[in-house]
Amino acid sequence: MVDFGKRLKKLRLESGYTQQQLATRLGITKSVVSYYELQERYPSPEVLIRLAHIFNVSTDYLLGLETTEMISLSGLDAEDIITIKRMIDALRQKNKS
């Protein structure tokens, strides 16, 4: 759980959530979110799963057990998925240059 607080804060900021907004979605207080980010407390398994769903990442990623951030494609249709894959390929080619 070494990277949990840093990863949580990074995901929260990238998603545009304030600590209060995330707390409201989780049904907890803002101070608890702050404690999580400071690594002074850790979430229950239920909250950890809810965080993974909110940010579309695995619980292993949140806990620092997995270093690759995965992006969930659930809820997208086949055409959307093809578009995203093409964008990823284009970005990889750009970064090789």
Give the global pTM.
0.73
C-beta separation of 65 from 54 below 8 A: no
Tens-place pLDDT, residues 35-69? 999 999 999 999 999 999 999 888 998 988 887 77
In CATH terms, 4-63 corresponds, of 1.10.260.40, 3.40.50.1970, 1.20.1050.40, 3.40.50.10420, to: 1.10.260.40
C-beta separation of 31 from 42 below 8 A: no
Q: Would you list the domain boundaries of the chain?
A: 4-63
User: What is d(CA 48, CA 57) in angstroms, rounded to the nearest whole number?
Assistant: 11
In this structure, what is the dihedral angle of CA atoms 80, 50, 68, 84, given to the nearest 10 degrees?
Answer: 10
User: So what's the pLDDT on residue 72?
Assistant: 76
- pLDDT at residue 83 greater than cutoff 90: yes
CA atoms within 13 A on the CB side of 43: 24
Q: Give the other-Cβ count within 10 Å of 7's Cβ.
A: 20
